Each structure stands twice: as structure tokens, then as C-alpha cells.
């Protein structure tokens, strides 16, 4: 199977490649053409996923297709952007028809869930990896950034944390658990749903935001540094799932939530008077701390004393 036949059979004819709102021209020319309305800005983000680093080298290609796009789309949620389109650069060691069909179906499933149109990309031969670039639109001046947190703001997260990190032994086949425990955890790893609607609702409400990909402590450190403030996190307030605690216990579950990564929930700062407004529509949102003067991220126990935190999060180098 040649490169262009591969693209045509599995990607160019997919429902997600047939255009959408903001797509002037998609697959078929040297560049895609995207349009944003007057008064809007284009949000762009790129993620690369490598076999053996970001996902197991041997895994279900349908689940991988879902996960690959979800990871990138989560960056649009973090900026409060409305999804428009994405590109896919796929490197394969071989053109396996069965693998490609399943991967394309998983990709299509997530593209439909996120309302993202596939508008181009590339295919090459080599060790399995994929690079996705996502495009979104946001009203000018309303994009959520990491640099607006202010003293007195509350620190919030978009839901339970740690499930994906805790699921890793299940993903790798190193551990087994009953279905009522394993299934929700594996779903959080393979099919994280980007919090796109929450991100859009936070426009004009949150003062700073990002998505949690490398661990709560590490990612909150980015907000603290960009905003020139300190973040205090109350360990007792961090939301943990019953499945995660049943699998590995509360203490290890908390460690996964703090530094495990792969959550793809939003973390954001918010003036106190706006919390009830957000929680009215998003009851899963939890306040876990506050913004204070100083620098860095500090973990507090139930008595308000600073406690030693686990390592800060995942880094490639």
C-alpha cells in the first residue's frame, strides 16, 4: 500500500475529514485553509506521542486513536478555545491495514466528540509515533492563559485526579482488578475527554488556566511562575475516585493525583465569588487551594502546615 493510497483509504474519506465550521479547504492541497471571524483569534497547539514513551508499543489502535487526539484537544480546552480542525503526521513501521482501520476509527470517534475536522498531515516510515496539531478559535482577548492568577483567587480543578496514572499498571498488564475498578480507570487513560465546554465557560471567569498533563504539582508550578504568585494546595481537598483508592489505597492515589500526570483535567484560578457560578453548571469542579503572595507551589496538610510533596511530575529530559 502506497502513501497516498493509505491517506485516501483511511483518512481523507473519513467523516471528520469532510470539513466543518471554519474549514475553507481541507485535505487535497499543499495547505489547509482555515477561517476565523473578525474579532477572533486562532489558538494552535502541537503534541507528539511516541511508542514506548507516551503509550505502550503494543496496544489497541482504536484506543490509541482516541487518546492521541484527546491529548491535543485538551490544550484547546485549557485556552477556552472552540475546536476547529487538526492535522495528523503519522509515522509507521509498516502499513498494516487492520491496525490502520482501527486507529482511524478511534481517531474519528474522538474527532466527532470534540467537533474537530481533519484537514491534513503526513505519513512516513519509521518507529511508531504521531504528531497532532490542533486549531481552535477564541474571542480576541478572552483566551485563558497561565499568567493572570491573583492573590486571593481560589485554585480549582475540573474533576477527580490520578486515575490515568493509577491505571498504568493495568495498561501495561502488570496488575489486574475487578471490572468495576479497572474499567473506569482504563477509560480515563485511553479515552480522556477534553474539558472543552468547561474551558469555554471559564472565559471571562477564570484568571488563569491550563490542562493537567504532567501532574498537578508540576503544572500548577507553571501558573505560579507565569503569574508571579504562590499556590497553596490542600491535600485533603484533592478529589480522588473510589476506583483508584480501591486499587492502590488512598496514600498512593494521592501521589498519583499530585505527580502522576495524564489527567487532562483543567486546573484554574478563580475569584471566590465566581466559584458557585461555575459549580452550578459543573458540579464536578472542586476548589483545592488558593493563590497567595510568594513563589512556587506548596502542599498543605489538614492543619495548614506545609508537607513534603512527591516529585514534581513527568519530564522528558
* R_g of the chain computed on alpha carbons: 20
Q: Where are the beta strands (DSSP E) in the chain?
A: 23-25, 33-34, 40-50, 82-92, 117-125, 129-139, 154-157, 208-211, 230-234, 266-270, 286-292, 296-300
Least confident span in 35-44, 149-158, 177-186, 303-312: 303-312
Give CA–CA dist 287/267, Å, rounded. Answer: 10
> What's the CATH architecture for 3-139?
2-Layer Sandwich (3.30)
Residue 316 has pLDDT above 60, yes or no: no
Q: What pLDDT does 20 receive?
A: 84
Q: What pLDDT does 290 receive?
A: 98
Beta bridge partners of 267: 157, 210
Looking at the chain, the domain(s) classified CATH 3.90.650.10 span 154-300
Residue 57 has pLDDT above 90, yes or no: no
Average pLDDT of span 231-238? 97
Maximum CA pair distance of the chain?
64
Band of residue 172 on the pLDDT scale cut at 50, 70, 90: confident
Band of residue 317 on the pLDDT scale cut at 50, 70, 90: very low
Q: pTM of the full predicted structure? A: 0.93
Looking at the chain, the domain(s) classified CATH 3.30.1330.10 span 3-139
CA distances from 67 to 46, 64, 133, 171 (A): 14, 5, 14, 13
Please indicate whether residue 27 or residue 164 has the higher confidence score (pLDDT).
164
The proportion of the chain whose per-residue pLDDT surpasses 90, expressed as a percent, equals 79
Q: What is the pLDDT of residues 193-209, one digit of tens each?
A: 999 999 999 999 999 99
Over the chain, what is the mean pLDDT? 93
Please indicate whether residue 4 or residue 265 has the higher confidence score (pLDDT).
265
Q: What is the pLDDT of residues 73-102, one digit of tens each?
A: 999 999 999 999 999 999 999 888 999 999
Average pLDDT of span 101-130? 95
Q: What pLDDT does 1 receive?
A: 67
CATH number 3.90.650.10 is the correct assignment for the domain at 154-300: yes
Q: What pLDDT does 204 receive?
A: 95
The proportion of the chain whose per-residue pLDDT surpasses 70, expressed as a percent, equals 97
Other beta carbons less than 10 A from residue 191's beta carbon: 16
Q: What pLDDT does 307 receive?
A: 87
Amino acid at each position: 500500500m502506497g502513501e497516498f493510497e493509505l491517506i485516501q483509504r483511511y483518512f481523507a474519506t473519513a467523516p471528520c475529514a469532510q470539513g466543518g465550521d471554519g474549514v475553507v479547504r481541507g485535505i487535497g492541497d499543499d495547505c489547509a485553509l482555515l477561517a476565523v471571524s473578525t474579532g477572533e483569534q486562532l489558538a494552535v497547539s502541537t503534541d507528539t506521542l511516541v511508542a514506548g514513551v507516551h503509550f505502550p508499543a503494543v496496544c489497541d489502535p482504536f484506543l490509541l486513536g482516541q487518546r492521541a487526539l484527546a491529548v491535543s484537544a485538551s490544550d484547546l480546552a485549557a485556552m477556552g478555545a472552540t475546536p476547529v480542525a487538526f492535522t495528523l503526521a503519522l509515522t509507521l513501521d509498516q502499513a498494516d491495514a487492520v491496525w490502520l482501520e482501527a486507529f482511524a476509527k478511534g481517531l474519528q470517534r474522538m474527532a466527532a466528540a470534540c467537533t474537530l475536522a481533519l484537514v491534513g498531515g503526513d505519513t512516513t516510515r519509521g518507529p511508531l509515533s504521531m504528531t497532532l496539531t490542533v486549531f481552535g478559535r477564541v474571542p480576541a482577548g478572552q483566551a485563558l492563559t497561565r499568567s493572570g492568577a491573583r492573590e486571593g483567587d481560589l485554585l480549582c480543578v475540573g474533576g477527580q485526579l490520578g486515575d490515568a496514572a493509577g491505571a498504568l499498571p493495568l495498561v501495561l498488564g502488570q496488575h489486574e482488578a475487578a471490572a468495576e475498578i479497572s474499567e473506569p480507570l482504563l477509560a480515563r487513560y485511553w479515552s480522556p475527554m477534553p474539558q472543552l465546554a468547561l474551558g469555554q465557560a471559564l472565559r471571562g471567569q477564570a484568571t488563569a488556566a491550563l490542562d493537567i498533563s504532567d501532574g498537578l504539582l508540576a503544572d500548577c508550578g507553571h501558573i505560579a511562575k507565569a503569574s508571579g504568585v504562590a499556590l497553596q494546595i490542600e491535600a485533603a481537598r484533592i478529589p480522588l475516585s473510589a476506583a483508584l483508592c480501591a486499587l492502590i489505597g488512598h496514600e498512593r492515589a494521592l501521589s498519583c493525583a499530585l505527580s502522576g500526570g495524564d489527567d487532562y483535567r483543567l486546573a484554574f484560578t478563580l475569584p471566590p465569588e465566581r466559584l458557585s457560578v461555575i459549580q452550578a453548571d459543573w458540579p464536578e469542579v472542586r476548589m483545592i487551594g488558593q493563590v497567595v503572595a510568594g513563589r512556587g507551589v506548596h502542599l498543605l496538610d489538614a492543619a495548614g502546615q506545609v508537607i513534603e510533596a512527591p516529585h514534581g511530575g513527568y519530564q522528558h529530559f
